[in-house]
Amino acid sequence: MLQKVGKRFLVRARFTWRSLFDDQFLLVTNTLTGGSLLAMGDVVQQSWEIHKEQSKVLDWKRIGYTFVMGCSTGPLLHHWYGRLDSAYAGRAMNTVVKKVLADQLIISPIIGIWYFIGMGLMEGDTLAEGWKDFKGKFWEYYKADCCVWPPVQMFNFYYVSPKYRVMYINVISLGWDVFLSYLKHRVSQPHRRLKRHFASRIVLLIV
């Protein structure tokens, strides 16, 4: 009896999983997974902040904002990968390299701008303040991006089926989402030339 129930559950779960990636539901799946995992990354980062400073509590508004930002990048990536696969069809190595370069040079900076300015606007910053924040952190963001994403995307474009591309990126990016949350909400340290531990003490005293 238990075996039959287990088999029925697995069949239903398999059917449900496949239906999530049907053409009519794929955009919704990509959108909601993007929002959920970006929010999860922020929860992880906030948990670390609370661990370091126990007077803090989870900022649910911030989590909500990251969910909105993740949902907004879902459709962007959904259509971007569709266009990229149409422009560069096949899995030849030179084709894969072209996709990785296009992804790195075009969509990565766009997502960075979208994230920093979008989060800033929702958190009460002006457009100019959001742009200034992005410019101040751009090279740190982009250098890390260039270290992480090219090998991830090589695997994506060579092995992963097109309908699973965004899901793959969303899952892999959970660690990256923690970094984004850290970078966006990091307290600026004006005394960067000082030794790290001494600078940290100054910042704590100021706060």
Q: What is the pLDDT of residue 192?
A: 42
pLDDT in tens, 127-147: 999 999 999 999 999 999 999
**pLDDT confidence of 67, banded at 50, 70, 90?**
very high
How confident is the model over 17-36, as a mean pLDDT? 76
Average of per-residue pLDDT across 27-34: 90
- Mean pLDDT to the nearest integer, 173-198: 71
179-188: long-range contacts, CB 8 A cutoff, minimum separation 24? 179/144, 180/38, 180/41, 180/115, 180/141, 181/41, 181/42, 181/44, 181/45, 181/46, 181/66, 182/45, 183/137, 183/140, 183/141, 184/115, 184/116, 184/119, 184/133, 184/137, 185/45, 185/49, 185/62
Q: The pTM is what?
A: 0.78
